[in-house]
Structure 1
Amino acid sequence: MRLLVLRCDAPHITDFSSYPSPVELYDLPAIPSRKDLKVLDDAAFDVLPHDPTPSLDEIAKQPDVEHLGAPKPAPQRPETRLRIVVIGTDAALSAVLTRLMRADNMWAEIGFVPIGPSTAAKNWGLPADTAQAVCLALLGAVNPVPLIRDDAAVAVAGSATVTSWESGELTGEVIVDDHVQIRHEAAKKPPRRGIYGARMVPMVDAPGIAAVTMDTPLPGEVPSRGVFPRPSGSVVPSSFATGRAMQAGGPGLRIRVDGVSRKRPVDRVTFYRHLRDLQIVRP
């Protein structure tokens, strides 16, 4: 197995002795750029110069996309496995997954060692102890999960939120598959408990997306519990929903993926399950 370890602003992690062979170690910024991650393109090409499996376009044209059921191991079988261990935040992992996804190299195995609070680590049940997390990332088995992305081709590692660009309640609509999660017009004066947006996390199984309504502004990100007053005409059928896709529309939306905001407000956004699954190392 070829093993790349990407330390994203984590030089204090130095013990990789649990792996029997030397690792390829790269020190990168906290959120690596496309240029920083060129090493991934090179390693993937070295290991699998030609992918004999159906392309994404060919998969999308299939009448029954079986791959959108339970997540499965990647169909690619290179002679030498490629494992990429990311040490850093959820934002760092998102950057790595985004680079692999855009290059269609999601067959690579991914290990993750979280630095600081991590929604992704909680979702996947990764060890809280750093030494144990390193050992699992280096030696553990792959257990695939759905890969969730947005319409700007950014992969979600731990979570994403849709809120108003300015502080205050959300004006707009959020739909998960065919379920109306939110239909709301913001109050002129932000209430203590209101409708501030939606938070989405990737699931470990089909259909892929779990979404909750945020009834407090960021950084609270607290899902709705119980009943609270809302203006006439607002629709919040349920504070929790699952599906393959989440769409949102409204004036001046702020989109954050793993804590990183888009540079400009948008009027609509879609999150959906990618056609390739994430080959993540987890219990």
Structure 2
Amino acid sequence: MSAHLPPRSRTEGLFLVLTCGDTAHDRWGERVSTALDPTATRVVAVPPRPGKPDVDPLLGSAEGGRLVVAGTDADLAAVLVRLLRADRLGVPVAFLPVGPSEAARVWGLPTDPGAALDVARGGVAGPAPLVRDDRGGVVVGAHEAGAFDGVVYCDEHEVLRGDAAGLVVRPDPDGGSVGVGGVAVVVTGPRRLAGLRPGVEHRARGRAATIGCRPASLRRDGVDDDRPLERRSWYRHTADWTLVRPATP
């Protein structure tokens, strides 16, 4: 769905609920089928960070309805990758977080179970910037790098060069239309006064962010990347995904 299209309210159709992993299924499985509409809700237990064989055969059930993802930020990211690759970004996606969620914070989604179910049922679906990385993933909450020595750019602007305490890349909900923005970057400089004070934060927003550095650690939506970070790019996709958010009064 392109960024200029207006939000749309809940349409008639099936609630397809994916409970990602045992924790999500135990927390949400029974509750969600009764809290939404038991006659129009299909709950499917899938593995954590579900892949193509887990998600793709189910996507037809979400047409005309709403896809609800119960799980972690990494689970939501995995489902969005499948929607991206199946060219189904127009399917409205609601999120029921399990545990702390940076994605919920970024997008203004409730983490209280009752409030989250209310949004899944009656929230408004609209376009949201989809941030990808050059390793085939997406960012729904945050990608976070540990201490590094290198250089970070946001679009053509240098954000920081040299030692840094860390980097965080998030989607920018206020990024405007496709081609304008969508990526938010925070780079924290080295600690000051012999480590007694935190480093200065350098913030930037744009269409893309890149880093080149000596090997450093990286967490992608709460999961440690098993490959050292040396070069990475994050950028806004040419189409948005469709997120269900709280309805405004």
Q: Counterpart in 1 of 2:192?
A: 228
Deviation at 1:132, TM superposition (A): 1.6
Task: Report what 1:208 is aligned to.
Answer: 182
Confirm whether residue 144 of structure 1 aligns to residue 122 of structure 2. no
Match of 1:160 among 143, 151, 155: 143
Is 1:121 the counterpart of 2:137 in the alignment?
Answer: no
- Determine if the alignment matches structure 1 residue 83 to structure 2 residue 66: yes
Structure-2 separation of matches of 1:128 and 1:12: 13
- 1:241 matches 2:204: yes
> In the alignment, which residue of structure 1 is the partner of 2:41?
23
| Residue of structure 1 equivalent to 2:27 | 12
Matched, 1:130 2:113: yes
Distance 2:95 2:182 in 1: 20
Rounded Cα–Cα distance in structure 2 between residues aligned with 1:117 and 1:215: 26
In 1, are the aligned partners of 2:189 and 2:202 still within 8 Å (CA)?
A: no
C-alpha distance in 1, partners of 2:89/2:49? 19
Encode CA deviations 1:195-251: one digit per residue, 9 max, x unaligned.
2221011111221111112358xxxxxxxxxx8369xxxxx9961111110001123
Q: Amino acid of the residue matched to residue 28 of structure 1?
A: V
**What's the secondary structure of 1:126's corresponding residue?**
coil
**Structure 1 35/7 Cα, relative in aligned 2: closer, same or farther at 3 Å?**
same
Residues 109-159 of structure 1, C-alpha deviation per residue, up to 9 Å, x if partnerless?
100011110111111221231022012112211132101010112011111
Alpha-carbon offset, residue 256 of structure 1 = 2.4
**Pick from 213, 219, 224: which aligns with 1:261?**
224
**What is the alpha-carbon distance in structure 2 between the residues aligned to residue 245 and residue 2 of structure 1?**
36
Q: Contact 1:175 / 1:181 at 8 angstroms: preserved in 2? A: yes
Number of the residue aligned with 1:197: 166
- C-alpha distance in structure 2 between counterparts of 1:3 and 1:205, whole Å: 28
Determine the structure 1 residue equivalent to 2:15.
3
Q: Which amino acid aligns with 2:114?
A: A
Residues 87-119 of structure 1 show CA distances to partners (whole Å, capped at 9, x for unaligned) of: 111111011111111222111110001111011
**Which amino acid in structure 1 is aligned with residue 154 of structure 2?**
V
What is the SS of the residue equivalent to 2:245?
A: coil
The structure richer in strand per residue is 2
Give the superposition deviation at 1:277: 0.6
| TM-score where L is the length of structure 1 | 0.70
Instruction: Check whether the contact 1:101–1:155 (CA below 8 A) recurs between aligned residues.
Output: no
Structure 1 pair 145/229, CA: closer, same or farther in 2 (3 Å)? farther
More helix by share: 2
Q: Answer yes or no: is the 8 Å Cα contact 2:129–2:173 preserved in 1.
A: yes
Partner SS for 1:213? strand
Identity rate, percent: 36
Check 1:42–1:269 CA distance in 2 against 1; reply closer, same or farther (3 A cut): same
Match of 2:82 in 1: 99
The 8 Å contact of residues 183 and 205 in structure 2, kept in 1 or not, is answered as yes
**Bigger-Rg structure (1/2):** 1
Corresponding residue for 1:177? 155
CA displacement, residues 32-67 of structure 1 (integer Å, 9 cap, x when unaligned): 2332223344546xx4xxxxxxxxxxxxxxxxxxxx
Read off the aligned partner of 1:134 and give its amino acid letter: L
Q: Which runs of 5+ in 1 are unaligned?
A: 48-80, 164-168, 186-194, 217-226, 231-235
Indicate the residue corresponding to 1:34 in structure 2.
52
Q: 1:266 to 1:198 in 2, by over 3 A?
A: closer
- Which secondary structure state, in structure 2, belongs to the residue aligned with residue 239 of structure 1? strand
What SS does the corresponding residue of 2:31 show, helix, strand or coil?
Answer: coil
Query: Size of the alignment, in residue pairs?
Result: 219
